[in-house]
């Protein structure tokens, strides 16, 4: 029979070497002590795979000690005689050495047991939850680090025109309505704005009207026409008259002779507006202005489709922006007759209403500049978009009479 790797014969040989060793403790006392220790250890919680070697060592030591003590109290089988005290004096040093070894073994066992118990207690402690710190190559980390702050130049790209006041175009002419050219803060870009005044204050002379309007309340500067009348300055006058003379709401005014002469000369030179773009002003307003006013370079004899395509791409982030959202794609332009055309755009459902209004009015005014008076948006029924501001896209639309309608204003 095997005992922890030792056969019976090997155990007997080892015991014979201990002949003459005595233990004067009571057998019952020894048995109870060993049993209590064994029961205590058997009731301890099981350790994981890292502490099993410690327990295995302690169990082997306990079995070996118990065997030594029990066998020392019974007669050996070989000679039938009991172990006596005859050899006690002879083996006293050996007994002391064994006892000392036993004590050291128990101390070592207790030490190992204490270490194992500390391991168990440490493993039973709740695991501390550490917040996730993204690594440098974590995609979410990169997005957080690379997200730039919104600036005025990024406004169109981030779809945040809602923070700007955009004056809708005038859909129809009404009494007391005027369209006049003013200058943007850069003193170069002509911005046509439309407004109405009280019918009792309608004036026939343009200089009186210009003197009664304060353009700075709308983020603009004085009109070049006003400077021509008051100072004789021709700076941007020709461009301003070319721009404003497109609209019938300007033709209702009587012009001074010097203005009339310039207007007559520029009317013959007038060409297409070169598309429409968005001009942010004073971090508050955004106006529709022509590509011609912005000095956008253009090629001669561009078709409407070519101009619309160019309007998608042409913009300067530090000055003006495309009126066509990047989500929209022009699929086709179909001329029905000389005054009627059909446009097919895809992506309406991906654009907010505020941007769609500016887009629709920019496209309608561009088509009007090519002589079209009826514009249709094809395939709109399939894009879950119907009404955009005052426009019903499933209907045939007519171009506005003038852009940037400021409404009734206080006339001084």
Model pLDDT for residues 344-399, shown as the tens digit of each residue: 999 999 999 999 999 999 999 999 999 999 999 998 888 888 899 999 999 999 99
pLDDT over 70 for what percent of the chain?
62
Average pLDDT, integer, range 132-151: 40
Q: Does any domain span residue 108? A: yes
Parallel, antiparallel or unpaired: strands 387-388 and 391-392: antiparallel
More confident residue, 245 or 139: 245
CB 296 within 8 A of CB 319: no
pLDDT for 345 equals: 96
Same domain for 167 and 71: no
pLDDT in tens, 41-65: 555 544 443 344 444 455 555 556 6
Q: Does any domain span residue 216? A: yes
Structure tokens at 140: 């979410």
Structure tokens at 115: 């270490």
For residue 23, name the pLDDT band (cuts at 50, 70, 90): low
pLDDT for 175 equals: 84
Same domain for 93 and 173: no
Dihedral sign of CA atoms 188, 189, 190, 194 in order: negative
Average pLDDT, integer, range 238-265: 85
Same domain for 390 and 304: yes
Average pLDDT, integer, range 247-271: 78
Tell which of 124, 146, 177 closes a domain: 124
pLDDT in tens, 202-232: 566 788 888 888 999 999 999 999 888 888 8
Structure tokens at 99: 């006892």
Same domain for 91 and 32: yes
More confident residue, 323 or 89: 323
Same domain for 268 and 384: yes
Average pLDDT, integer, range 190-206: 78
Same domain for 285 and 232: yes
pLDDT for 39 equals: 64
pLDDT for 72 equals: 58
Average pLDDT, integer, range 82-97: 46
Among candidate residues 399, 379, 386, 259, the one with its CA nearest the CA of residue 329 = 379
Tell which of 107, 124, 141 closes a domain: 124
pLDDT for 410 equals: 76
Average pLDDT, integer, range 105-125: 47
Instruction: State the total domains in the chain.
Output: 2
pLDDT in tens, 350-363: 999 999 999 999 99
Same domain for 384 and 299: yes
For residue 265, name the pLDDT band (cuts at 50, 70, 90): confident
pLDDT for 347 equals: 93
Same domain for 291 and 354: yes
Asked whether residue 269 carries a pLDDT value surpassing 80, the answer given is: no
Provide the CA 215 distance to its chain's centre, in angstroms: 39
For residue 68, name the pLDDT band (cuts at 50, 70, 90): low
pLDDT for 150 equals: 36
Tell which of 124, 150, 170 closes a domain: 124
For residue 304, name the pLDDT band (cuts at 50, 70, 90): very high
Same domain for 280 and 217: yes
Same domain for 177 and 40: no
Q: Does any domain span residue 146? A: no
Q: Does any domain span residue 147? A: no
Asked whether residue 141 carries a pLDDT value surpassing 80, the answer given is: no
Top mean-pLDDT range of 136-150, 255-269, 312-326, 369-383: 369-383
Same domain for 286 and 397: yes
pLDDT for 203 equals: 62
For residue 17, name the pLDDT band (cuts at 50, 70, 90): confident
Sequence-distant (≥ 6) Cβ neighbours of residue 347 within 8 angstroms: 325, 327, 328, 329, 383
Provide the CA 80 distance to its chain's centre, in angstroms: 92
Q: Does any domain span residue 355? A: yes
pLDDT for 260 equals: 86
Average pLDDT of the chain, as a whole number: 75
More confident residue, 106 or 7: 7
Parallel, antiparallel or unpaired: strands 329-337 and 340-346: antiparallel
pLDDT for 239 equals: 87
pLDDT over 90 for what percent of the chain?
34
Domain membership of residue 43 as a residue range: 8-124
| Residue 321 burial by Cβ neighbours in a 10 Å radius (0-12, 13-18, 19+) | buried
Average pLDDT, integer, range 89-112: 48
Same domain for 177 and 116: no
For residue 276, name the pLDDT band (cuts at 50, 70, 90): very high
Q: Does any domain span residue 137? A: no
Q: Does any domain span residue 97? A: yes
């Amino acid at each position: 029979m095997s005992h922890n790797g030792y056969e019976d014969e090997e155990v007997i040989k080892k015991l014979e070497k201990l002949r003459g060793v005595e233990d004067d403790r009571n057998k019952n006392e020894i048995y109870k002590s060993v049993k209590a220790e064994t029961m205590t250890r058997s009731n301890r919680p099981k350790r994981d795979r890292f502490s099993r070697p410690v327990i295995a060592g302690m169990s082997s030591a306990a079995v070996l000690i118990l065997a030594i003590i029990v066998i020392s109290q019974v007669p050996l089988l070989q000679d039938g005689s009991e172990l006596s005290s005859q050899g006690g004096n002879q083996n006293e040093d050996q007994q002391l050495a064994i006892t000392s070894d036993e004590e050291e073994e128990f101390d070592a066992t207790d030490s190992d047991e204490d270490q194992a118990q500390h391991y168990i207690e440490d493993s039973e402690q709740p695991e501390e939850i550490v917040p996730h710190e993204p690594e440098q190559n974590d995609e979410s980390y990169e997005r957080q680090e690379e997200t730039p702050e919104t600036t005025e130049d990024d406004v169109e790209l981030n779809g945040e025109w809602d923070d700007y006041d955009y004056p809708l175009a005038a859909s129809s002419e009404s009494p007391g309505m005027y369209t006049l050219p003013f200058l943007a803060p850069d003193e170069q870009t002509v911005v046509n704005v439309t407004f109405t005044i009280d019918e009792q204050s309608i004036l026939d002379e343009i200089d009186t009207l210009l003197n009664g309007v304060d353009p700075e309340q709308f983020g603009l500067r004085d009109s070049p026409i006003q400077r021509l009348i008051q100072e004789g300055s021709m700076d941007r006058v020709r461009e301003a008259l070319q721009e404003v003379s497109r609209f019938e709401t300007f033709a209702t005014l009587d012009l001074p002779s010097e203005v009339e002469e310039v207007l007559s000369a520029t009317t013959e030179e007038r060409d297409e507006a070169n598309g429409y773009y968005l001009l942010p002003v004073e971090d508050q307003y955004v106006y529709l202005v022509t590509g011609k006013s912005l000095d956008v370079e253009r090629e001669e004899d561009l078709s409407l489709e070519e101009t619309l395509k160019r309007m998608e791409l042409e913009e300067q982030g530090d000055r003006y922006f495309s009126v066509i959202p990047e989500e929209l794609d022009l699929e086709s332009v179909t001329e029905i007759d000389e005054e009627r055309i059909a446009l097919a755009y895809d992506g309406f459902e991906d654009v907010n209403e505020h941007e769609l209004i500016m887009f629709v009015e920019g496209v309608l005014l561009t088509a009007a500049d090519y002589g079209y008076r009826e514009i249709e948006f094809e395939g709109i029924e399939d894009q879950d978009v119907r009404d955009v501001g005052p426009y019903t896209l499933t209907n045939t639309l007519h171009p506005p009479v003038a852009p940037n309608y400021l409404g009734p204003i206080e006339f001084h």
